[in-house]
Structure 1
Amino acid sequence: MASDTASPRRKPDPVSAKGERRRGPYRRRLRSRIIVSFVLLGFCLTTLFAFATNWARMRVENQLVEDVLNRNIDEYAHRYALDPTRSPDLPVQQMRARLVRPDKFEALREEEPDWYEFGNGNHSLSGVDERGQPYSYKLAVRKTPDAWFFLAYDTTESIRGEAQLNRALILSVLVFSLLSLVLGWWSASKVMKPVSDLAARLRAYRGGTSEPAPLAPRFPDDEVGQLAQALDDYSSRLTEVVQRDREFNADVSHELRTPLAVIRGATELLLARPGLDEKVLQRLQRIQRAEQQCTDLIGSLLLLSRNERGQGSSNVARVAEQLLDAHRAQLGGKPLELVLEGERELVIDAPESALSVALGNLIGNAVKYSQEGSVRVVVTGNRVDVIDSGPGLSAEDAAKLFQRGYRGTHAGHSQGGGIGLSIVSRLCDLYGWQVSVRPGTERGVVATLTFSPAT
């Protein structure tokens, strides 16, 4: 069976019973994004400020200490050069000076191996003394052939001060991040309040009046007001479209049903006349079947346009037999057998008009594209299979099945606009059915219409 239309449509996103589109397990709200942005901004700025403060303190302090060391050790060496017979004194707090004469150079290797190895310049030393107390100092070194000069500056207190400053900076980062959170929460509430009000008013319109009150006058003339104005314009145009659609449906229902009723009445009167010629009788019966098909199709299309389910129940086998009888009368000389198999008691919760349109399109395609052999309609469980012996289903058809306007590769010059299976698919969406096609075992196509369980 080559189809008038093809390819399973992309499944829509799941929709809840109330019509709301279900979201994933987590949905990041705009309010949350604003708050997170404020927190990140506050945290990054305070962290950067703390880092810059600590870096500047270390740089300035290190520069000052080294300048003091350089000046004092130069003064220390100068005093020694003026009077080498005595050790010069430097009454500078936090500093300890040491003079090593040439005969004590090797003894220094044993006492202070680090000092012995250091060259001229400033060096940093830290560690733990014999009592287990941490120490840290900077050492200025000047080595000459006549004497070695060492000047140590105790920076232990400075290290403690640095630790205290770091703790204060970390606390400042936490405090300012918390303030950023509070500020972000407050700002997000202020910024999002008009948007939340607009969303609440839109939700209030759901299922309400067909002519909702304008939104724009309730909001200031800002971005939210512009959005409200655009929504008002869209709502107005949508209301006009819905109104035109309702009027069109009403017009179609009235204008088409009236002549069909006339045709039905005239056909019934003619069929009631005795002694009709066999050919005339067959043509009248064909007109009667065509009128019934038109009535069913119009009713189904009107229900589809309103997205409403029709009321009633249908025996699947009985409707299938009626459809097969209608197609048998139109076979002409085509060597094609139409067979109904399977259960006869399957009843579904849907009007016969909807079932007739859906199943009729599947059977019609099978009959149209099967030139010989058979078309079998098998009713089993809660489904019906239409199995034909036609040319089969191409890969291109399978890829575009049920796409509106698509005509199968085997359609040739046959009549049809490629909307038959599209209507079937829409009916299945409306009634909760499922429709699918697959290649047959040896040839042809198997079309399956699966009905929803009875409730």
Structure 2
Amino acid sequence: MRPALPQWSGTLAAKAAAFITVMCCALAALLGVLVHVQVTNQTVGQARDQALQRLTQAAERYEAGDALKRGGGVDPPGLPPPLRNLAVSGDRGTMVADFEGRPTMWAAGPADGDRALAVAVDYSQQARTIAGLDRAILWSSGLAIGATLLVGAFAVTRVTRRLHTTALVARRISAGDLDARVNDPRTDPRTKAPARPQDEVAAVAAALDSMASSLQGKLLAEQRFTADVAHELRTPLTGLHAAAELLPPGRPTELVRDRVAALRTLTEDLLEISRLDTGRERLELDTEQLGPLAERVVRGAGSDTEVRVVRDVAVETDRRRLERVLGNLVANAHKHGRGPVVVTVDGPVVTVRDHGDGFPEYLVVHGPQRFRTEGGAKGHGLGLTIALGQAEVLGARLEFANAADGGAVATLRVPTE
């Protein structure tokens, strides 16, 4: 089963969208503030100049004893107290305040005595202009942010989609599918246009494809070498076995025959591994009871192994391959562990446990590796490799672990459907 890919690409898109949103909001706020301040200063400045001009005219009429025009007077009602205090102290100034429900620009200056001469200019139009400008800034900023988000999301989604495809291909390769390739259009010289140069994602995809091709070539060369060596050894081993059978009885003859038999077993194991590597194995399915099948394997091994059937179940499987898996697990438990060795059948789950020193750490983490042993163990590391390969052909899952109280535990989960 292909491992599921976590949704990291959605997280990257969300981070990119958040970054774009923050930057757009910051830029829109900065531009909005600059425009608001500039226009407000200009509008207020014009209204202030107009109010001060009318205050000058009112002061001239007041000094000449003429009647003041509408909107001007001495200490008129509605004059803001801070502005009146400023005028009484001898200075001139302006101030915006509400008067009779409307925004008004006041201008005031000193008059005779402790009084202030002031004029009021309607500021409603300027206030509406500034308010309209603020609304326009908000709407245009919102539209700009939305448009930028759409364009940014489109661009980021294209990148994350390509990264997502590359990650899926990498996971397929790690799962054993060495034919998987990204085939990014930017990395294919037949489709790459001059206007679309390679980017970083295309470089990663090209590196992954190159790595997969190199890895596939090396593995195929290794498989061919293993198969060729095993095939070439069969003929001389057959002759050597026949010659050993003609030797006179005795201890030297027994040693020669034992070594020849071990070499023939190794050769057959190598041939089986080469067939598993090339994927040429085909299943011959039949319905089997796991309990009796485990008992047959133990009897055939001729070893002192206890079989416990907690719950028997019938499964559709390849009997020969399943017996090969269980036989290798039992043989490995007796060869590298210590008794008692117990085979437990609990439904479609079969466990083989010994009470030795347990599996090496590398085997528990990475699985069995051919021709690798540790701790002075004898063997070539092929038995468990074959068991794992045959289990994959069966569609079963074989796991290796160490028991908490000591000993190695191999767990085979046989598919029931």
TM-score, normalisation: structure 1 = 0.60
Distance 2:215 2:264 in 1: 30
Letter in 2 for 1:60: Q
* Corresponding residue of 1:218: 191
2:190 is paired with a residue whose SS is helix
2:51 maps to: 69
SS in 2 for 1:218: coil
The equivalent of 2:352 in structure 1 is: 386
Equivalent position amino acid for 1:218 in 2: T
Q: Deviations over 1:294-331 (max 9, x none)?
A: 42x32442244335655346944433443x43xx5xxx
CA contact (8 A) 1:122 1:141 kept: yes
Amino acid at match of 1:15: R
How many residues are treated as equivalent by the alignment?
A: 378
Q: Give, in angstroms, the shift of residue 155 of structure 1.
A: 0.7
Aligned to 1:450, which of 386, 398, 412? Answer: 412
Change in 2 beyond 3 A, CA 1:66/1:240: closer
Deviation string 1:116-170 (CA, Å, 9 cap, x unpaired) is 884213332127x4xxxx4111222334525321221211222222333334444
**Cα distance in 2 for residues equivalent to 1:227 and 1:146:** 79
Q: Structure 1 residues 244 and 143 mapped into 2: Cα distance closer, same or farther (>3 Å)? A: closer
Q: Does 1:96 align with 2:71?
A: yes
Structure 1 unaligned spans of 5+:
1-13, 101-107, 329-337
Equivalences for residues 164-243 of structure 1 within 5 A: 164-173=132-141, 176=144, 215-221=188-194, 223-224=197-198, 242=216
Q: Deviations over 1:150-205 (max 9, x none)?
A: 221211222222333334444444555566578779x959x98xx89x99xx9xxx
Partner SS for 2:121? strand
Which amino acid counterpart does residue 98 of structure 1 have in structure 2? G
- State the 1:61 CA deviation: 1.4
- Equivalent in the alignment of 2:343: 377
Instruction: Show structure 2 runs of 5+ residues with no match.
Output: 87-92, 170-177
| Native 8 Å contact 1:54 1:166 kept in 2 | yes
CA RMSD in angstroms, aligned pairs only: 5.4
Are 2:328 and 2:384, in contact at CA under 8 Å, matched by a contact in 1? no
In the aligned structure 2, how far is the partner of 1:48 from the partner of 1:245?
A: 60
Query: Structure 1 pair 179/362, CA: closer, same or farther in 2 (3 Å)?
Result: same
Query: How far did residue 58 of structure 1 move?
Result: 0.7
**2:136 aligned with 1:149, yes or no?**
no
Aligned position for 1:24: 7
Higher relative contact order (CA 8 A, sep 6+): 1
1:60 to 39, 42, 49: 42
The 1:225–1:117 alpha-carbon spacing in structure 2 relative to 1, beyond 3 Å, is closer
Measure the CA separation in 1 of the matches of 2:15 and 2:406: 56
SS at match of 1:224: coil
Is the alpha carbon distance of 1:116 and 1:220 closer, same or farther for their aligned partners in structure 2, counting shifts above 3 Å? closer
- The answer to whether the 8 A contact 2:79-2:118 is kept is no
1:136 maps to what in 2? 103
Contact 1:316–1:347 (CA under 8 A) maintained in structure 2: no
Answer whether contact 1:361 1:421 (CA < 8 A) is retained: yes
Q: Is the 8 A contact 1:215 1:229 kept in 2?
A: no
TM-score normalised to structure 2 length: 0.65
Q: C-alpha separation between the residues in 1 aligned to 2:271 and 2:319?
A: 10
User: Which 10-residue stretch deviates more, 146-155 or 420-429?
Assistant: 420-429
1:291 corresponds in structure 2 to 264
- Counterpart in 2 of 1:319? 297
CA contact (8 A) 1:437 1:446 kept: yes
Matched residue, 1:433: 397
State yes or no: 1:413 paired with 2:392: no
**Letter matched to residue 72 of structure 1:** R
SS state of the match for residue 401, structure 1? helix
Q: Say yes or no: does 1:364 pair with 2:364.
A: no
Q: CA–CA distance in 1 between the matches of 2:400 and 2:230?
A: 32
Change (3 A) 1:179 1:135: same
2-side partners of 1:179 and 1:391: how far apart? 66
Give the partner amino acid of 1:368: H
Corresponding residue to 2:307 among 341, 348, 353: 341
1:447 positional shift: 0.9
Do the aligned partners of residues 399 and 253 (structure 1) sit closer, same or farther apart at CA in structure 2, a change above 3 Å counting?
A: closer
Identity %: 12
